[in-house]
Amino acid sequence: MKRCAPCSSSAAMHAELSGRPARLPAAPSDRPSLSLAEPSATSVGPGFSRAAPSPLLSLLFFTLLALALASVGQAAEIADYRVIRQAASDAAGRQMVAIRSFTADGVPHLLAVDPVALTSYDLPASQLKLSGASADAALSSTPYLKALTRYSSPPYRLQNAGAIRAENAADGVFLTVDLCPSKRPFERGLFEAACALGHGAPTPVAVAVSGVWLVSHPDEIAYLKAESAAGRLAITWVNHSYHHVYDPKVALAQNFLLTPGTDFSAEVLDLERQLLARGLAPSPFFRFPGLVSDQAAVLRLRELSLIPIGSDAWLAKGESPRKGSFILVHGNGNEPKGIKLLLPMLKSKQLRLLPLPAAFGD
C-alpha cells in the first residue's frame, strides 16, 4: 500500500492567532493528547528608524518580537476527544447541535453546529447549555439533521456519494478546493484570484484539507489564516481524512478509505483535532478521498454527524459548472488542468461564489 506524498505572515494573521477563537465540545477518542507547535513564517523587514538603534534597544526589540511570534505559533493541546450529538443552546437561546466534546489546554470545549445555518463553532463548554435531549429527536426538522439523513440514505454509490450540488435554487456556485497530500507547490494564485472577487468582502471558499497536507504545510496554512483574518477569505474547513491513502494499482472498492485495515474513525477525528489545535473550527462536511466510499463508510460518517460532499463540476475531468454546482479543483499542485480552467472564470468574474453551508435548506 502506498500513502500519497504530502501534496507570510501579516499583522492580520497576528491578530487572529494571538487570541484563539472560541471552541466547541468534541467526541471521545482513545488517542493521546495532541500538542503541536508551528514555526512562524514572519520575517523582519528593514529598520524602522533612520537613526541606528542602540544594541540594547535592538536586543530588547528582537527578544520581544521572538516572544510574540512564539505565542502566535503555539498550538492548543486537544485531549479527551469524544463524539456526541446533543441538542444545546447558547446564552441567546439559539439552538445548536454539540457534536464533539474535548479539552483545549485543559479547558472543556464543545464543537457545535448551528442546525439552520450549518456553520460550526469551537466554544468553551461554559458558553453552551446541553439539553440532555437527542439532537435527532429535538432538531430533526432543521436543514442540518435533514441533510444528515438525506445524504446517508441509499443508493450507496462507489463514487461521488452524498451532496454533489445545492439542494436549493442557489444563484451561484460553490468553490471547493482539495488539499490532498502532495509535494508540489501550493496554488496560491487560485486563492489570490478568489480574493479579488470580494471587492472588500470575504470570498467564500470551502477547503477540503487532509491531515498530512495540513501538518506539512505550516506556511501555507498561515497564509490562509492570514487571508481569513484580513477579511479577504471566508473559509469553510472540510474534512478530507488524515492520511488520504491511495494506491494506483488497487481497485477503487479496496482503495482510499476502503483500504483494508483503515481506521475510519481515526482518519476523521485525528484531522479534526489537528484543525482545532490550530484554532480552526471543522465544518460538518466531509469529502471522501477520491470521492470513493461504500455503505459502511457513509453510515459511519452519519454516526460522526458529518455530511458527505461530492461534486458535479470536477473541472479537470471535463465537468462544467452551472448554478448550484459544487466546483472541485486541487490547490495542492496535483491537478494543474483544473486550476488552468478555473482561473479565467475567476478573473473574468463569471462566477458568483457562495458559502458551502448555503447549499443546504430552502
Q: What is the pLDDT of residues 137-182, one digit of tens each?
A: 899 999 999 999 999 999 999 999 999 999 999 999 999 999 999 9
Task: Kindly state the cell numbers that stand for 6.
Answer: 504530502
Query: Can you say whether the dihedral through the CA atoms of 173, 233, 161, 86 is positive or negative?
Result: negative
What Å distances lie between residue 161 and 257, 289, 315, CA to CA?
13, 11, 18
CATH 3.20.20.370 placement within the chain:
145-359
Look at residue 16 in the predicted model and tell me its pLDDT: 35
CATH class of 145-359: alpha beta
Q: What is the pLDDT of residues 34-71, one digit of tens each?
A: 433 333 332 323 332 333 334 444 444 344 334 333 43
Over 80: is that where the pLDDT of 280 sits? Answer: yes
Task: Kindly state the cell numbers that stand for 250.
Answer: 488497487
Residue 199's pLDDT band (boundaries 50, 70, 90)?
Answer: confident
Task: Report the residue count for the chain.
Answer: 362
Residue 209's pLDDT band (boundaries 50, 70, 90)?
Answer: very high
| Helix orientation angle between 295-303 and 264-277, rounded to the nearest 10 degrees | 40
Residue with the three cell numbers 494564485: 189
Strand ranges (E), the chain = 78-90, 95-104, 107-113, 120-124, 128-134, 174-179, 203-209, 233-239, 282-286, 307-308, 313-314, 326-330
